[in-house]
Structure 1
Amino acid sequence: MSDPFVVVGGDAAGLSAASKCKREDPDREVIVFEKGEWVSYAHCGMPYYVKGEVESLSDMLSLTPAEIEDRGIDLRRNHEVVAVDPDTNTVTVEREGERFQQPYGDLLVATGAHAVSDPIAGADLAGVFTIHSMDAAAALRAFLTPPAAFDPDAFDGAGEFVDWELVEAYAARDPPESAAIVGGGYVGVEMAEAFSAHDLDVHLFQRPERLLPPFGAAPAERVAETLCEHGVTLHLDTEVDELVAGADDTVAGVVVDDERVPVDTAVVGIGIEPNTALVDGAGIELGVESAIAIDDYGRTDRERVYAAGDCAEMRHAVTGEPDWVPLGLTANRAGRAIGQTVAGTPTPVGDIAGTAVVKAFEMECGRTGILDHERAREAGFDPVSETITAGSRSGYYPGGAETTVTLTADRRTGRLLGGSIAGEDRAAIRIDTLATALEGDMTVGELERLDLAYAPPFSPVWDPILTAAKVLNGELA
C-alpha cells in the first residue's frame, strides 16, 4: 500500500485516531509508532495507583498491544520517530540504533507532553519522581512498600512493559517516612492524598499563594482546609530553592529560604510542556504555549499532517481563540475526529472549555471556562463573579454537604464565562452542567431558568448551580 496513515504516539489521541480510521476504512494501512513500551494507558490514574486504590498497573491499560493489533493496526513499540519531512511525506524512525524512512499518506503527530522539573535543582536525585510515566508510578509504589511485602504479582498483566531494574531498585529500599510535593496543581493535591494513605509526613510546597490556581479562590480555600485537616503541611507562597541529597545521593531535604525541611522522597509536579521537538525543522507552525497549531479539523499548516492530544492546541469555547489545556477527553475526542477525517468523513475536533475535576480526600472540585478576571478582560469581556454556598440536597434529607459555586459572566451581555464548584457530596460532577451551558453560549439568565432535576436525595429544589445563577443574574440586572 502506498498511502499508510502513520501515527506518532501510542496513547490517547494516537490510538483513538488509528482505531477510528481502521474501523471506517478497513483497507487502509495504519501504522502506529511508539518510542517506549507502554501504550494506551491512563495518566490520570497514577496517583490512585500509588495510593493503592488502584490495585494493578494493568488496571490502567485501556488496550493491550495484542488488542490493538487485533484491530488491524500495525503497532510498533520501541520505535522512535526522530524527524518529519512534509516535503517528501516521510518520517525517519529509529529502532535499536538503526534508522529507516517510512512514507505516509497522512500523518498524525500525537507525541503528548512531558513533565517539567526545571528549574528545581536536585530534581534528578534518587527518590525524586515526576508522576508522568507508568514506570515512575510503579517505582514509587514499590518504594512505599516494605521490602518484605513487595509482590511482583501486583504487576500482573503489565509486567512485560515494566522497567524492572528501576522498580526492583526501589523495592529493595526501606520505605520513606516523609515526603515533599513541589507544586499544588492536580498532581500535587492528588499525591498529597496518596502519600497520606501510606502514613507519611507530607509537606506540600506551592509557589503561588493558593492551590489549584485555575479553579479560583473558593475551591482553593476548601482544598487547603481539607489537606490541613488530614495532616498535610502546606507551604503556600513559597518557592523551593533546591532538593538536596543525603549521604547516598538520595533526596534528603527541601531547601526554602535557607531552611531545610527533611524528607525521604519527593514528587515534582510543577507542570507539563508539549512534546514538539519532533517537528523542529519541519516547517510546522507552533501556537499557544509552543503547542502545535491546528485548524478546526486538527490539520497543521503542512498538507496531510495532523496533530492532536497534549502536543496540540485547541480552540477555546468561550474566547474562540487557540488555547492549550492538556486533558484526556480532549486527546481522545480530537484523535477520534482526525481518524474519521482521514478515513474520508471530515469531522471537527471540537472546542474545549478547560473543564476539569480533582479530588482531595473527600473534597471534590470542578472548574470550566474562564474564571480569572484578568484573562477575561484580555479576551474582551467585562467580568463579574459571585460565589454562593448552598446545600447539596434537601435540608431534611441526610447526607448533604455545603457546596460552593462561583460563576463568572460578562456584565455587558450576561453571557456565562466560567464557573467552579467545591463540596463533599457529588459536587464535581455538577460542573458538567456549566460546561454544557458554556458550549451553548448561554447567558446567566438562561442558566437560571434551566429545568434541572430535583428530588431530596439528589438536590434541593434550587440546585446550587441555579442558586448561583440567580444571585449573579441579580448582580447583572
Structure 2
Amino acid sequence: MSDPFVVVGADAAGLSAASKFRRTAPDREVVVFEKGRWISYAYCGMPYFIEGLVERMSDLLSLSPSEVDERGIDLRRGYEVVAVDPDVKRVTVETADGDRFEQPYGDLLVATGGRATTGPFDVRGLDGAFTLHDMDTAAAIDAYVAEPDEYDPERADVSAVDRDRVERNAAMAAPETAAIIGGGYVGVETAEALAERGLDVHLFHRSGHLLSDFGAAVGERVEAELTERGVTIHTNAPVDSIDGNDRIEAVAFGIGDDGTDAESLAVDMAVVGVGIRPNTELLDDTGVALGEGGAISTDEHGRTNLPDVYAAGDCATARHAVTGEEAWMPLGLTANRAGRAIGATIAGDPTPVGDIAATAVVKAFDMEAGRAGLLDEDEALEAGFDPVRETVTAGSRSGYYPGAAETDVTLVADRDTGRLLGGSIAGPDRAAVRIDTVATALEADMTVGEVERLDLAYAPPFSPVWDPILVAAKVLNGKIDG
C-alpha cells in the first residue's frame, strides 16, 4: 500500500497508537520501526525489579513481539528511522546491518520517547556508574548489586537483554556503598531499592528538599522516612564529579564557587537520575516546531506543524489543564493515552489526546506522595494567577479506627477567583491515591469552595467524615474568604 501508517518507536505511545489504529482501520497497513530490541516495557517498574519485588524482568513487559504480530502490526525491531522528508512523505530507515531504504507513509507518528540526562557526569566506561532509563541498565544493576555466587540469571529472562553486559556486572564484587544523584522520582525509588538490597545509600539533591516538584511539605515527609530507613540524605548538595579509573571510587560534592569546601564520599556504585530530554533529533532540518522543554509541539489531536505528522509520549508536548498553555511532562499515562487517541484520529475518529496536569505519585518505603497541577508560586504567577496556599495535617481514617495516620495536604488556589490550581499530599496510609480527587477537580476547573462541598465517601476504615482533601479545601477557602 502507498499510504501506510508509520510509527517510530515501539513503547507506550507508539504501540498504543498502532494497536488502536489496527482495530479501527483493519484494512490499512501499519508499520512500527524500533531501533532497539525492547518494546512495550514498564519503565516505572524498573526500581521495583532491582529491589526484588518484581521477580522476573518479563513481568515488566506489556506486549511481546509475537503478541504485536498477532494484532496485525508490522513490527520491525533493529530498524532505526534516521531521517524524515515531510515534503514527499517518506522516512529513511537504517537496519542493524547498516543497510538503508526508503519507506513512504500516509501518516507518521513520532514516538521516540526521551533519554536520561547525566548533567556533567559521563558514566560511560566506568564500572559501577549507571543511568537508569532502560531495561538493559535495570538488568545490569540487578546483576551488579548481587554477590557473584548469588546472582540468579533467570531474573533477566527476556531474549532482548544485553547478556554480555549482565554477565560482566554479575562477575564483579557486590558494592557496599551507593550514591544516588538526584532526588526526584528515580532517585527516591532507586534509593529504596538499593537500601532494601542491603547497600549503604547516600541520596544527593541540589535543592533544599527532595521531590522538588511536589513541594516542601512532601519533601520533608519523604526525607524523614528515608532517613529512618537508613538512607543518608544530602540536600543543598550538588555532586560535582564521579571519580574513578575503571570502576567508580568516589563522588565529590559541596564544592563552593571558589572551589573550596569540597567533600569526597567513597562509593562503589552510583546511579545518576537528574532528568530526561526529549528525543527530537529525528526531525532536525524538517522545520518542525518545538515547544516546552525542547519537545515537539503538538495540538489537541497530537498533530505537529508538519503535514500528516504526529508526535506523542515523552518527546511531545500537550496542553496543561490549569494554564491552558503548552507543557511537557513525560509521564506514563500521558504517553499511552495520547498514542491511543492519535491511533483513533488517524483511523478516522478524531479524538483529543487530553490535557495534562502533571499528576504523579511516588513512594519511599511506607511513605506515599502525590501531586497535581501548579504548586510552584513563581509558575503560578507567570501563568497569571495570584496564588494562595495552605497545608494541613489530617487523619487518614477515623481516629478510633486502627491504621489511622497523619496525612499532609497542600492546596494552592487563585486568590481572585478561588479556582483550585494544584495540590500535593503525603502520608503512609493510602495517601497517594487521594491525589486523583485533586486531579479531577483541576480538570473540571473547580473552585476550592466546590471542592470543599464534594460528596466524598466516608466510613471509618477508609476516611474520617472530613477527608483530608476536604479539610484542606475548607481551610484554604476560609483563608481566601477571610
TM interval, short-chain normalised: over 0.9
Contact kept, 8 Å, 1:122 with 1:242, in 2: the verdict is no
- Higher mean alpha-carbon deviation, 255-264 vs 345-354, is at 255-264
Match of residue 107 from structure 2: 106
**1:59 correspondence with 2:59:** yes
Match of residue 348 from structure 2: 344
Secondary structure in 2 aligned to 1:33? strand
Superposed displacement of residue 123, structure 1: 6.1
**1:373 correspondence with 2:377:** yes
Contact kept, 8 Å, 2:375 with 2:412, in 1: the verdict is yes
- Higher mean alpha-carbon deviation, 293-302 vs 115-124, is at 115-124
Distance (Å, rounded) in 2 between the aligned partners of 1:383 and 1:445:
15
Distance (Å, rounded) in 1 between the aligned partners of 2:376 and 2:454:
25
**1:428 correspondence with 2:466:** no
Secondary structure in 1 aligned to 2:149? helix
Match of residue 215 from structure 2: 216
Match of residue 78 from structure 1: 78
Question: Structure 2 matches for 1:233-272, cutoff 5 A?
Answer: 233-246=232-245, 249-256=246-253, 257=255, 258-272=262-276
5+ residue gaps, structure 2, are: 256-261
Distance (Å, rounded) in 2 between the aligned partners of 1:320 and 1:60:
34
User: Which letter does structure 2 place at the counterpart of 1:128?
Assistant: A
Question: Structure 2 matches for 1:18-33, cutoff 5 A?
Answer: 18-33=18-33
**1:305 correspondence with 2:302:** no
Match of residue 41 from structure 1: 41
Match of residue 165 from structure 1: 164
Superposed displacement of residue 214, structure 1: 0.6
User: Which letter does structure 2 place at the counterpart of 1:440?
Assistant: A
Match of residue 183 from structure 2: 184
Q: Deviations over 1:321-354 (max 9, x none)?
A: 0000100000000000000000001111010000
Q: How many residues align?
A: 473
Superposed displacement of residue 155, structure 1: 2.5
Secondary structure in 2 aligned to 1:400? coil
Contact kept, 8 Å, 2:90 with 2:105, in 1: the verdict is yes
Contact kept, 8 Å, 1:405 with 1:464, in 2: the verdict is yes
User: Which letter does structure 2 place at the counterpart of 1:138?
Assistant: A
Superposed displacement of residue 262, structure 1: 0.4
Match of residue 196 from structure 1: 195
**1:330 correspondence with 2:334:** yes
Match of residue 408 from structure 1: 412
Distance (Å, rounded) in 2 between the aligned partners of 1:382 and 1:430:
25
Distance (Å, rounded) in 1 between the aligned partners of 2:132 and 2:283:
25
Q: Deviations over 1:301-333 (max 9, x none)?
A: 011000000000010000000000100000000
Q: Deviations over 1:159-186 (max 9, x none)?
A: x101000000001111100100000000
Q: Deviations over 1:134-174 (max 9, x none)?
A: 00000000111111122222223x1x101000000001111
Contact kept, 8 Å, 1:123 with 1:243, in 2: the verdict is no
Superposed displacement of residue 118, structure 1: 2.4
Distance 1:268 1:409, change over 3 A: same
Secondary structure in 2 aligned to 1:472? helix
Match of residue 392 from structure 2: 388
Distance (Å, rounded) in 2 between the aligned partners of 1:54 and 1:122:
26
User: Which letter does structure 2 place at the counterpart of 1:114?
Assistant: R
Distance 1:101 1:205, change over 3 A: same
Match of residue 284 from structure 1: 288
Match of residue 474 from structure 2: 470
- Alignment TM-score, normalising by the size of structure 2: 0.97
**1:273 correspondence with 2:254:** no
Distance (Å, rounded) in 2 between the aligned partners of 1:50 and 1:231:
18
Match of residue 148 from structure 1: 149
Contact kept, 8 Å, 2:123 with 2:130, in 1: the verdict is no
Distance 1:419 1:279, change over 3 A: same
Distance (Å, rounded) in 2 between the aligned partners of 1:353 and 1:122:
33
Superposed displacement of residue 282, structure 1: 1.2
Match of residue 229 from structure 1: 228
Contact kept, 8 Å, 2:123 with 2:131, in 1: the verdict is no
Distance (Å, rounded) in 2 between the aligned partners of 1:259 and 1:278:
41
Distance (Å, rounded) in 1 between the aligned partners of 2:210 and 2:124:
21
Superposed displacement of residue 412, structure 1: 0.1
Secondary structure in 2 aligned to 1:457? coil
Secondary structure in 1 aligned to 2:179? strand
2:463 to 448, 459, 462: 459
Secondary structure in 1 aligned to 2:390? strand
5+ residue gaps, structure 1, are: none
Match of residue 447 from structure 1: 451
User: Which letter does structure 2 place at the counterpart of 1:162?
Assistant: V
Superposed displacement of residue 7, structure 1: 0.1
Distance 1:278 1:271, change over 3 A: same
Distance (Å, rounded) in 2 between the aligned partners of 1:65 and 1:343:
23
Secondary structure in 2 aligned to 1:147? coil
Distance (Å, rounded) in 1 between the aligned partners of 2:263 and 2:438:
44
Superposed displacement of residue 209, structure 1: 1.2
Distance (Å, rounded) in 2 between the aligned partners of 1:224 and 1:124:
32
Q: Deviations over 1:355-381 (max 9, x none)?
A: 000000100000000011110000000
Distance (Å, rounded) in 1 between the aligned partners of 2:153 and 2:123:
30
Distance (Å, rounded) in 1 between the aligned partners of 2:464 and 2:436:
18
